Amino acid sequence: MMTMSNSKNPKPKSPLETTILDLMDTIFARWFRGPSWDCWRVLLAVLFGLHDRIDAHGIEIYRQCTGRDQLPTERIKRLDLIVGRRGGKSLIAAFVALFVAFFVDHTAYLQPGERAVVSLMAADKVQAGILLRYIKGFVKSIAALRALVVRELREGLELSNGVSIEVRSASFKMGARGFSLALAINDEVCFWESDETSAEPDVAIIGSQRPALATIPSAIQLNISSPHSRRGHLWNSYQQNWGKDTPGILVWKAASRRLPDSPGVEMNSSLDIETVRAAYEADSAAASADFAAEFRVDLESIFSREAIAACVIAGRFELPPSKTLQYFAFTDPSGGSSDSFTMAISHVDAATSRVVLDLVRERRAKFSPDEVVKEFAAVLKSYGIDRVVGDRYAAEWPVERFLVHGISYDPSPMTKSELYLAALPLVNSGRCELLDSPQLTSQLITLERRTSRGGRDSVDHAPGAHDDVANAVAGALVAVPLAVREPWSEVLRFGENKPDGDSRFWHRIN
């Protein structure tokens, strides 16, 4: 299906004149055998401006994946690649890295002693290491490439042509350092973990690479992922640029493998169809993201940034205990090996009827649970609290351990989802005051609400994200009725009926 232009170039090419497609079809052919790589060939031809290598069938693939009719007339500086799982994203990205590092001359744009960097970034260094392993695999197979490696490091390669290939984790911001990027590969960006500083780290980090990409004219930024919810860099770019001739930017969205009854482009037609079928049977919404590369429509943010911001009291980090107030507490225990152990305390302001968040405590793993219980119990006592409500799925041990320190632990009658849904009207109607904690804000706004047909909504953290702090806070905001001995069934009933907006309950208890 590809039109080969080799016949027009009978002279042997120097390595620096070789196109990425020539490499794919010659010395690296054993990696890319068979028609299952055809769609990737079209993409690489578009990315590197090899338009004479795209035939009519290739143009049709291009149209379906980009929504564009015309091939780009300008060099592509940013490729946003939304492709299903096991579609070949990482291997092709590694191959692009190999090409840019070994076969493109960047020296004209570098200062003496400066190196051109090929950055490999993923959610963590282990993930980014997959890209490096692919690259090292390519290099090992060709003696001439091995000869160009001056240093092989655990997290990179240094080449004699002035290029360094470097693995980074997605917590690394480029903006602060001055260096030149020849290529930035950002893998699985839809799953980069939010942190205290950013609820959308992919947006922040992808943006921070821009200055470093500006020195080398041929520099490319490659942002890759299977899709997830409708937020973040790839979703934004898909909205803004898919189907549009945005100069310098190409958005390519394609399934890895499709079910037989949904025809269309497949980036990896060799992927086992039974695996895909089983995934659809287990969870069709997740499978259509994973394999058909559709952003998930069943997932929404629950708390909006604006609603949270309206409840946050700027500069209020913690409120000291007052003898005249009655406090309520909620804890989300953890055994200490992976999740955080968190606790939050609240009270109702009699003058405004608002639920006020007084304190949030988090102990991150690893820790001794006994020690944390002791520490939290002391804090509870300082607020005059002798009972705490806690996650109902926690094992028996929190009940016993808190009791040792004179605190009774009531398992929450509400699930985590129910707590978030019950806290929502409080936040949306501005009937609570939150502490100034970027981490709390970040955790709340990255929560995902999943609507299921006919079933109840569920709320949980996004993949890779955490919600231990948010969980304790939602519990503390909603814990009020238990402590004032209102029947939880009332909260549950209102939560069930109108999870979004019903605040009658709060009017009543206040």
Ligand X SMILES: Nc1ncnc2c1ncn2[C@@H]1O[C@H](COP(=O)(O)OP(=O)(O)OP(=O)(O)O)[C@@H](O)[C@H]1O
For Mg ion, give the closer residue by CB, 90 or 288: 90
128 alpha carbon, distance to own chain's centre: 14
According to DSSP, residue 218 is labeled T
Interface positions with Mg ion (CB under 5 A): 89-90
Which of Mg ion, ligand X, none binds 37 (CB below 5-8 Å, type-dependent)?
Answer: ligand X
Which among 16, 23, 28, 22 is positioned nearest to 138, based on CA atoms?
A: 28
CA dist 360 and 317 (Å) reads 9
Which residue has its beta carbon closest to Mg ion?
90
Q: Which is nearer to Mg ion, 130 or 206 (CB)?
A: 130
Out of ligand X, Mg ion, none, which partner does residue 88 contact, by CB within 5 to 8 A per kind? ligand X
Helix locations, 81-124, DSSP H: 89-103
Q: Closest approach of Cβ 90 to Mg ion, in Å?
A: 3
226 binds, among Mg ion, ligand X, none (CB under 5 to 8 A by kind): ligand X
Closest Cα to residue 116, out of 244, 22, 218? 218
90 vs 446, beta carbon nearer Mg ion: 90
* Strand (E) or helix (H) holding 40: helix 38-47
The option from Mg ion, ligand X, none interacting with 228 (CB < 5 to 8 A, set by class) reads none
From the list ligand X, Mg ion, none, pick the one residue 342 interacts with, judged by a Cβ distance below 5 to 8 Å according to partner type. Answer: none
Whole-angstrom distance, CA of residue 219 vs CA of residue 213: 6
Which residue is closest to ligand X by CB?
Answer: 88
Instruction: Give the binding site for ligand X (CB under 6 A).
Output: 36-37, 40, 85-91, 226, 267-268, 270
Closer CB to ligand X, 58 or 495, in the complex: 58
Q: Could you tell which of Mg ion, ligand X, none binds residue 86, using a CB distance below 5 to 8 A set by kind? A: ligand X
Three-class secondary structure of residue 429 per DSSP = coil
- The span from the CA of 25 to the CA of 3, in Å, is 12
Question: At closest approach, how far in Å is the CB of 41 from ligand X?
Answer: 10
The distance of closest approach from Cβ of residue 36 to ligand X in the complex, given in angstroms and rounded to an integer, is: 3
Which position has the token pair 């170039």?
9
CB of 464 to ligand X, least distance (A): 14
Q: What angle do CA 279, 459, 205 make, to 5 degrees?
A: 80
Q: How far apart are CA 167 and CA 119, in angstroms?
A: 6
The listed partner (Mg ion, ligand X, none) that binds 229, CB under 5 to 8 Å by sort, is: none
CB closer to ligand X out of 42 and 311: 42
Alpha helices by DSSP H, listed for 265-368, are: 273-282, 284-290, 305-311
β-strands 163-169, 156-159: how paired? antiparallel
Residue 388 and residue 259: Cα distance in Å, rounded?
50
Closest separation between CB of residue 383 and ligand X, Å?
A: 47
DSSP string, 224-281: EE---BS-HHHHHHHHHHTTS--TTEEEEEEBSS--TTS-S-BS-TTS-HHHHHHHHH
Q: Please, which residue, 24 or 118, has the CB nearer to ligand X?
A: 24
**Phi, psi torsion values for 227, nearest 5 degrees:** -80, 165
CB of 312 vs ligand X, minimal distance in Å: 37
Torsion sign across C-alpha atoms 134, 136, 138, 141? negative
Work out how close the CB of 53 gets to ligand X at its nearest, in angstroms, rounded to a whole number.
17
Which option in Mg ion, ligand X, none does residue 268 bind, with CB closer than 5 to 8 A by kind?
ligand X
CA–CA gap between residue 65 and residue 58 (Å, rounded): 11
CB of 290 to Mg ion, least distance (A): 12
Q: What angle do CA 16, 18, 19 make, to 5 degrees?
A: 125
**Residue with smaller CB distance to ligand X, 202 or 391:** 202
- CB nearer ligand X, residue 100 or residue 343: 100
> For ligand X, which is the closer residue by CB, 85 or 361?
85
- State how far the Cα of 56 lies from the Cα of 365, in Å rounded to an integer: 56
Residue 198's binding partner out of Mg ion, ligand X, none, with CB under 5 to 8 Å set by partner kind: none
Instruction: Find the shortest distance in angstroms from Cβ 286 to ligand X.
Output: 13
Q: In what order do the strands lie in the sheet with 156-159?
A: 149-153, 156-159, 163-169, 116-122, 180-186, 220-225, 78-83, 249-254
Question: CB-wise, 164 or 256, nearer to ligand X?
Answer: 256
User: Of Mg ion, ligand X, none, which one does residue 102 interact with (CB within 5 to 8 Å by kind)?
Assistant: none
* Closest separation in Å from C-beta 505 to ligand X: 44
Nearer to Mg ion, 170 or 476 (CB): 170
Q: Closest distance between ligand X and the C-beta of residue 243, in Å? A: 23
Contacted entry of Mg ion, ligand X, none for residue 136, CB cut-off 5 to 8 Å set by kind: none
